Amino acid sequence: MTTDASASAARRPGEQVLTALGLGAPALDPADASPHTFPGGGRWRTEIPSCEGPEALAVVLKESSLLDVPIHRISQGSGVWMLTDAEITEMVAATAERDIELCLFTGPRGTWDIGGSVRSDSRGAGLRARGHDAVAGCVEDAVRATELGVKCLLVADEGVLWTLHRAREAGIIPADTTLKVSALIGPVNPASYAVYERLGADSLNVPSDLTLDHLTEIRRVSAAPMDMYIEAPDDLGGYVRMYEVAELIRRGAPLYLKFGLSKSPGIYPYGHHLRDLTLATARERVRRGRLALDLLARHGAEGDMAPLGSRLPGTLNRFETTA
């Protein structure tokens, strides 16, 4: 992965007016800036999440054209198992036509099986795969999806991540398959971030409540791409960080800007009974993306976008795999 320590600082919100009134903020510390970029250049990419099936995908693609929102990746949250082969094939073809990476979630996950601890106050093991059979189900999803042309898999379990990385290294799934860590198990410190990278993660969705200093700490130990909800769904806290976008990029690059949506009901696992809500929220996520990109433009930070069509993470640190 290439590095660029000279990334320019953007204008901060309200900077000129506040400075004129004697309320200017301290100068940014250049040491806080991430020195990393995506391979081929660029410090940020975009992602539209929660795109549940071909119909929602069509809405996202149409709206992104209308609003001129560039998209590098589109992800789905219900899982490979919630889509038919025909639906997956349709989504693969539609995203390939626009040179967009399609990411589907592997399952099953702990929140949907019979384990009781996940429904306790402690939330138990959360989304992690419970038992051998759950890991096997995730592997089944991964093999099926990649055979149908999917190039990115979303995982919510460290063991599943390592297993799929080993499968990738062994040629069982394509070598250029990328593995993305879910926000629901996202690392919150530099040590755990580095471990996920070594287990095979190609991008890691960190929780949206990490501070700017937390991002800088992570970037001191890892160049693996980071995903962050600029607006998080309510079940992930509902945080809205649009005015921080330029600084999030400065600290966290290479960074995927994820355009989520607060104040909307959950839609996983998706079915046609949730159709109207799913299509409406898909459309609004793209609009939220336009709002965030407009902020970047106003603050002079829009020029560092990675080229459209780029998807690979560059050379990352891995644990040694064995047979």
What pLDDT, in 10s, does the model give residues 265-311? 888 888 889 899 999 999 999 999 999 999 999 988 888 999 999 99
CA distances from 228 to 16, 253, 295, 302 (A): 28, 11, 17, 17
Percentage of the residues of the chain whose pLDDT score is greater than 90: 71
Band of the pLDDT at 29, cuts 50, 70, 90?
Answer: confident
Can you give the pLDDT at residue 119?
58
Burial string for 44-82 (b: 16+ CB within 10 Å, else e) reads: bbbbbbbbbbbbbbbbbbebbeeeebebbbbbbbbbbbb
- CATH number for the domain spanning 117: value is 3.20.20.70
DSSP state, residue 3? B
Residue with the two structure tokens 């929602």: 56
Q: What percent of the chain has pLDDT over 70?
A: 91
In a domain, 268, yes or no: yes
In a domain, 6, yes or no: no
Tell me the pLDDT band of 4, cut-offs 50, 70 and 90. Answer: very low
Q: How far apart are CA 83 and CA 53, in angstroms?
A: 7
* Mean pLDDT of the 250-255 span: 97
Q: Which two tokens stand for residue 17?
A: 């007016």
Other beta carbons within 10 Å of 228:
27
Domain holding 216, by residue range, is 41-304
Question: pLDDT of 132-174, one tens digit each?
Answer: 988 999 999 999 999 999 999 999 999 999 999 999 999 999 9
Does the residue 24 lie in any domain? no
C-alpha separations of 177 from 17, 154, 169, 319 in Å = 48, 11, 10, 17
What pTM did the predictor assign?
0.91
Work out how many domains the chain is built from and give that number: 1
Q: Which of 253, 258, 257 is nearest to 9 (CA)?
A: 253
What does the radius of gyration of the chain's CA atoms come to, in whole angstroms?
A: 19
Q: Is residue 130 part of a domain?
A: yes
Question: Does residue 274 fall inside a structural domain?
Answer: yes
**For residue 25, is it within any domain?**
no
Residue 7's pLDDT band (cuts 50, 70, 90): very low
In a domain? residue 34? no
Is 151 domain-assigned? yes
- 241, 215 contact by CB (below 8 A): no
pLDDT tier at 13 (50, 70, 90 boundaries)? confident
